[in-house]
């Protein structure tokens, strides 16, 4: 299915089948629940922050291949970084999804594979779900209402 | 009128421009009629002709053009009332089924419900049959209780009878055919049981009126709501049918032009039914289109429409069951269900299913289908749903099955 190969890159299917950082941290610094109102998918993210560094992150919940692989890739990308760095990555990813800039692999890591999602407007929300949840958590400590899609 | 005994989908498809094959021979396999149906040319032409030849505002117009517009508008109402055996005075046009249910919740519920009164809905309701009652319950102190579903997707009738007997149930708001499970609820029977306990009944017939013979008089309910765009008609028009004696006793829902008999500085009087509940310029072209849709459906014959649905559903249940691991929600007996088939694959999320089969021109819906309490009861976040109508045939089901196999293989690559 040639048209779809941009959307469903091998790396996405790999993260979908073998999600990294899956689960729930006990006694996390930050805990966020986020729902995709379009499809009812749910995501639960827990983060441990020590001295302003994200030392651990975990994601749980259910979702499509795009939202699940995105949560996995995001976790890979931000772990070990400072909160400020993570927020910058999230902003970079958001702008990539909205087609405003070209993705930078040195910033996004495996999440570069999600670049093709930008061409599928309904799926952008799926890809952004975990990133926006983390942003909420890092800024507020708790989820805010509807985030920018 | 004589009806052809069976639907010929190939013949029917010729009436739907959108379903015609492209030059390359590809054609759309549209399996999302539970969300909205496609529109036959007869509907589009009737609306087009209205705008081109008879457009004027309705009612009160003295000139002939306005009379012509009024006649076409009211012809639409007559066609709708005839289709569902409804009293003409109780056949009210709304924006959609959602507004029809809100009309009852606000104009009846807000003034009638008292603290601790119970509004009974079901776990298989569309959000439009839940949220209006929750809003009005909050304002009145009434309580909304959900009739549970059994594991095979039927209503728990023991629970319903027990609650009717033991709680002050004033209103039972219930879906006729589930848009997710396909379950056909025995509404006439439920009406009799509810009435015996003094409760009124609103039937959400959004998924039944397009697909089977439905009689407001036969069901015996007090209110019935349905929506034009799922029954070959345009968007922007829905219908509330109400028993005129109840509607007469109700205050209006929205106020404005069209719905008054007199307006004075010290108050106003309401117009007669059905205008009392139709504030402002009504959906005129939409009534014309919906009327044409009703005539189109009647000419096919709703018995034939239903027989075709049972035929396709039987075929689809068999074909989908052959797919390894596929779980189908709702009753397995085609005679007890409508044409909406929700399913789940262990290795493919509904979103991905809908995306992947679209590559093969197959349109199915994925998500919670505006039925989140039902999703929770089924223990899923989302399902994929294929739903059929008069223009679908067994080739369409085969196309879905093939596309599902291809989707699976693609994901396993
Ligand atoms: C059972 C049922 N009720 C109500 C509705 C609402 O229809 P509308 O959105 O046209 O008001 C739908 C449509 O999805 C439905 O399937």
> Is residue B378 within 8 angstroms of chain A, CB to CB?
no
- Comparing CA positions, the residue from B257, B252, B256 lying closest to residue B276 is B252
Give the domain range for residue B125: 45-298
- Asked whether the predicted pLDDT for residue A144 surpasses 50, the reply is no
Looking at chain A, how many residues does it have? Answer: 149
Q: Taken in order B150, B155, B161, B162, is the CA torsion positive or negative?
A: positive
Calpha distance B83→B78 (Å, rounded): 9
Query: Is B390 domain-assigned?
Result: yes
Least confident piece of the model among A119-128, B312-321, B398-407: A119-128
Residue to test with chain A: of B345, B351, B370, B382, most A Cβ within 10 A: B351
> Domain containing B334 — which CATH number?
3.90.1150.10
Residue B206, token pair as written in the block: 């959004």
> Pseudo-torsion of CA B257, B259, B261, B267, nearest 10°?
-80
pLDDT at A141: 75
Count of structural domains, chain B: 2
pLDDT tens digits, residue range B45-58? 999 999 999 999 99
* Neighbour-count burial of A51, counting CB atoms closer than 10 A to its CB (0-12 exposed, 13-18 middle, 19+ buried): exposed
- The DSSP call for residue B381 is S
Q: Which residue has the higher pLDDT, A149 or B31?
A: B31
Q: How far is B366 from chain A (nearest CA, A)?
A: 7
Q: Where are the beta strands (DSSP E) in B90-142?
A: 91-94, 118-122
B199 plus B311 within the same structural domain: no
Beta strand B340-344 with B327-328: parallel, antiparallel or unpaired?
Answer: antiparallel
- Asked whether the predicted pLDDT for residue B291 surpasses 50, the reply is yes
B131 plus B225 within the same structural domain: yes
- Asked whether the predicted pLDDT for residue B37 surpasses 80, the reply is yes
pLDDT tens digits, residue range B85-106? 999 999 999 999 999 999 999 9
Show which of B250, B265, B298 is a domain's final residue: B298
B67 plus B122 within the same structural domain: yes
Segment A85-100 shows an average pLDDT of 96
pLDDT at A142: 52
Segment B363-388 shows an average pLDDT of 95
> With pLDDT > 90 as the criterion, what percentage of chain A qualifies?
80
Question: Please, which pLDDT band fits residue A143 given cuts at 50, 70 and 90?
Answer: very low
> Domain containing B266 — which CATH number?
3.40.640.10
Question: Please, which pLDDT band fits residue A6 given cuts at 50, 70 and 90?
Answer: confident
**CA-based radius of gyration for chain A:** 14
pLDDT at B68: 97
Query: Is B162 domain-assigned?
Result: yes
- Comparing CA positions, the residue from B361, B359, B323 lying closest to residue B341 is B323
Beta strand B362-363 with B29-30: parallel, antiparallel or unpaired?
Answer: parallel
Which residues of chain B neighbour A66 with C-beta distances below 8 Å?
Answer: 351-352
The residues, ordered by sequence, that sit 6+ positions from B218 with a Cβ below 8 Å of its Cβ are B85, B188
Decide: helix, strand or coil at residue B241: strand
Query: Is B38 domain-assigned?
Result: no
Query: Is B104 domain-assigned?
Result: yes
> Is residue B197 within 8 angstroms of chain A, CB to CB?
no
pLDDT at B265: 94
- Comparing CA positions, the residue from B331, B325, B238, B274 lying closest to residue B91 is B274
From B176, B206, B293, mutation site for ligand 1 pocket: most ligand atoms within 8 A of C-beta: B206
pLDDT at B24: 85
Provide residues of A within 8 Å CB-CB of chain B: 1, 3-4, 7-8, 10, 13, 38-42, 62-66, 68, 120, 123, 126
Looking at chain B, how many residues does it have? Answer: 413
Concatenate the DSSP letters of all residues of A14-31 into one string: HHHHS-TTBS--SS-SEE
- Asked whether the predicted pLDDT for residue B2 surpasses 50, the reply is no
Calpha distance A66→A5 (Å, rounded): 13
Segment A63-67 shows an average pLDDT of 93
pLDDT at B61: 85
> With pLDDT > 90 as the criterion, what percentage of chain B qualifies?
95
Segment A51-60 shows an average pLDDT of 97
Between B352, B368, B413, which is nearest A64 by CB? Answer: B352
Query: Is B36 domain-assigned?
Result: no
Count of structural domains, chain A: 1
pLDDT tens digits, residue range B182-213? 999 999 999 999 999 999 999 999 999 999 99
Q: Taken in order B167, B173, B175, B176, is the CA torsion positive or negative?
A: positive
- What is the A80 CA–ligand 1 centroid distance (Å)? 48
Give the domain range for residue A135: 4-148
Residue B129, token pair as written in the block: 């049959």
Query: Is B138 domain-assigned?
Result: yes
> Domain containing A18 — which CATH number?
3.90.1010.10
pLDDT tens digits, residue range B352-364? 999 999 999 999 9
pLDDT at A145: 39
Query: Is B35 domain-assigned?
Result: no
- Asked whether the predicted pLDDT for residue A88 surpasses 90, the reply is yes
pLDDT at B5: 66
Q: Is the peptide bond before B274 cis (omega within 30 degrees of 0)?
A: yes
Contact (Cβ atoms closer than 8 angstroms) between residue B210 and residue B230 = yes
Segment B129-146 shows an average pLDDT of 98
- What is the A94 CA–ligand 1 centroid distance (Å)? 34
Show which of B266, B298, B330 is a domain's final residue: B298
> What spatial distance separates the first Cα and last Cα of chain A, rounded to whole Å?
28
Segment B157-178 shows an average pLDDT of 98
> How distant is the alpha carbon of residue B52 from its chain centre?
30
Mean pLDDT score of chain B: 96
pLDDT tens digits, residue range B269-285? 999 999 999 999 999 99
pLDDT at B412: 87
Segment B256-262 shows an average pLDDT of 93
Show which of B260, B278, B298 is a domain's final residue: B298
Which residues of chain B neighbour A65 with C-beta distances below 8 Å?
Answer: 349, 351-352, 411
Calpha distance B378→B365 (Å, rounded): 17
- CB contact under 8 Å between B359 and A4, yes or no, is yes
- What is the B97 CA–ligand 1 centroid distance (Å)? 6
Calpha distance B217→B85 (Å, rounded): 6
> What are the two backbone dihedrals, phi and then psi, of residue B118, each rounded to the nearest 5 degrees?
-115, 135
B108 plus B17 within the same structural domain: no
Segment B313-336 shows an average pLDDT of 97
- Asked whether the predicted pLDDT for residue A2 surpasses 70, the reply is no
Segment A129-142 shows an average pLDDT of 90
- What is the B126 CA–ligand 1 centroid distance (Å)? 7
B225 plus B357 within the same structural domain: no
Least confident piece of the model among A84-88, B2-6, B151-155, B164-168: B2-6
Calpha distance B329→B343 (Å, rounded): 6
Question: Please, which pLDDT band fits residue A147 given cuts at 50, 70 and 90?
Answer: very low
Active-site residue flag, B370? yes
Residue B406, token pair as written in the block: 């291809």
Query: Is B37 domain-assigned?
Result: no
Contact (Cβ atoms closer than 8 angstroms) between residue B16 and residue B390 = no
Residue to test with chain A: of B354, B382, B406, most A Cβ within 10 A: B382
Segment B66-72 shows an average pLDDT of 97
Calpha distance B128→B387 (Å, rounded): 20
- CB contact under 8 Å between A64 and B349, yes or no, is yes
Least confident piece of the model among A61-65, A80-84, B47-51, B83-87: A61-65
Calpha distance B166→B155 (Å, rounded): 18
- Asked whether the predicted pLDDT for residue B307 surpasses 70, the reply is yes
Question: Please, which pLDDT band fits residue B73 given cuts at 50, 70 and 90?
Answer: very high
pLDDT tens digits, residue range B221-248? 999 999 999 999 999 999 999 999 999 9
Question: Please, which pLDDT band fits residue A39 given cuts at 50, 70 and 90?
Answer: confident
- Asked whether the predicted pLDDT for residue B377 surpasses 70, the reply is yes
- CB contact under 8 Å between B381 and A4, yes or no, is no
Question: Please, which pLDDT band fits residue B394 given cuts at 50, 70 and 90?
Answer: very high
Between A10, A40, A65, which is nearest B352 by CB? Answer: A65
B229 plus B374 within the same structural domain: no
- Asked whether the predicted pLDDT for residue A149 surpasses 80, the reply is no
């Amino acid at each position: 299915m040639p048209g779809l190969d941009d959307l469903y890159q091998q790396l996405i299917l790999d993260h979908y089948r073998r999600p990294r950082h899956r689960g729930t941290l006990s006694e996390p610094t930050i805990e966020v629940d986020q729902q995709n109102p379009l499809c009812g998918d749910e995501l639960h993210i827990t983060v441990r922050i020590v001295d302003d560094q994200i030392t651990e992150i975990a994601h749980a919940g259910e979702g499509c291949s795009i939202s699940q692989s995105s949560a996995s890739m995001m976790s890979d990308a931000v772990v070990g970084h400072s909160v400020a760095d993570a927020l910058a990555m999230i902003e970079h990813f958001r702008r990539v999804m909205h087609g405003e800039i070209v993705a930078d692999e040195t910033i996004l890591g495996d999440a570069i594979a999600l670049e093709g999602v930008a061409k599928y407007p309904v799926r952008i929300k799926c890809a952004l779900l975990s990133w926006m949840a983390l942003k909420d958590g890092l800024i507020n400590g708790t989820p805010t209402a509807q985030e920018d899609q | 009128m004589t009806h052809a005994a069976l639907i010929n989908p190939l013949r029917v498809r010729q009436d739907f421009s959108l379903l015609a094959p492209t030059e390359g021979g590809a054609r759309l396999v549209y399996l999302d009629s539970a969300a909205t149906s496609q529109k036959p040319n007869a509907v589009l032409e009737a609306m087009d002709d209205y705008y081109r030849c008879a457009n004027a505002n309705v009612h009160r117009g003295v000139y002939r053009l306005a009379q012509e517009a009024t006649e076409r508008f009211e012809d639409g109402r007559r066609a709708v009332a005839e289709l569902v055996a409804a009293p003409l005075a109780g056949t009210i046009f709304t924006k959609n089924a959602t507004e029809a249910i809100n009309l009852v919740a606000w104009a009846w519920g807000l003034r009638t419900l008292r603290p601790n009164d119970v509004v009974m809905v079901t776990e298989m309701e569309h959000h439009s049959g839940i949220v209006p009652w929750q809003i009005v319950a909050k304002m009145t102190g009434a309580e909304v209780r959900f009739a549970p579903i059994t594991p095979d997707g039927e209503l728990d009738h023991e629970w319903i009878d027990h609650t009717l007997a033991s709680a002050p149930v004033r209103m039972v708001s219930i879906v006729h055919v589930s848009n997710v499970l396909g379950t056909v609820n025995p509404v006439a029977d439920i009406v009799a049981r509810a009435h015996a306990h003094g409760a009124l009944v609103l039937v959400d017939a959004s998924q039944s009126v397009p697909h089977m013979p439905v009689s407001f008089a036969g069901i015996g309910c007090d209110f019935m709501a349905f929506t034009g765009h799922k029954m070959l008609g345009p968007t922007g028009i829905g219908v509330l049918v109400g028993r005129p004696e109840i509607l007469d006793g109700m205050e209006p829902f929205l106020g404005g032009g069209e719905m008054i008999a007199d307006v004075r500085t010290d108050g106003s009087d309401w117009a007669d039914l059905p205008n009392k509940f139709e504030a402002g310029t009504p959906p005129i072209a939409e009534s014309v289109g919906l009327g044409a849709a009703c005539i189109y459906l009647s000419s096919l014959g709703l018995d034939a429409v239903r027989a075709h649905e049972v035929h396709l559903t039987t075929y689809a249940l068999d074909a989908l069951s052959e797919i390894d691991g596929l779980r189908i929600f709702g009753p397995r007996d085609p005679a007890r269900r409508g044409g909406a088939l929700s399913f789940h694959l262990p290795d493919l999320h509904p979103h991905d299913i809908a995306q992947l089969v679209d590559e093969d021109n197959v349109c199915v819906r994925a998500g919670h289908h505006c039925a989140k309490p039902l999703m929770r009861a089924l223990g899923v976040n989302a399902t994929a749903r294929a739903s059929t109508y008069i223009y679908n045939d067994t080739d369409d089901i085969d196309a879905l099955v093939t596309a599902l196999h291809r989707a699976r293989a693609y994901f396993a690559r």
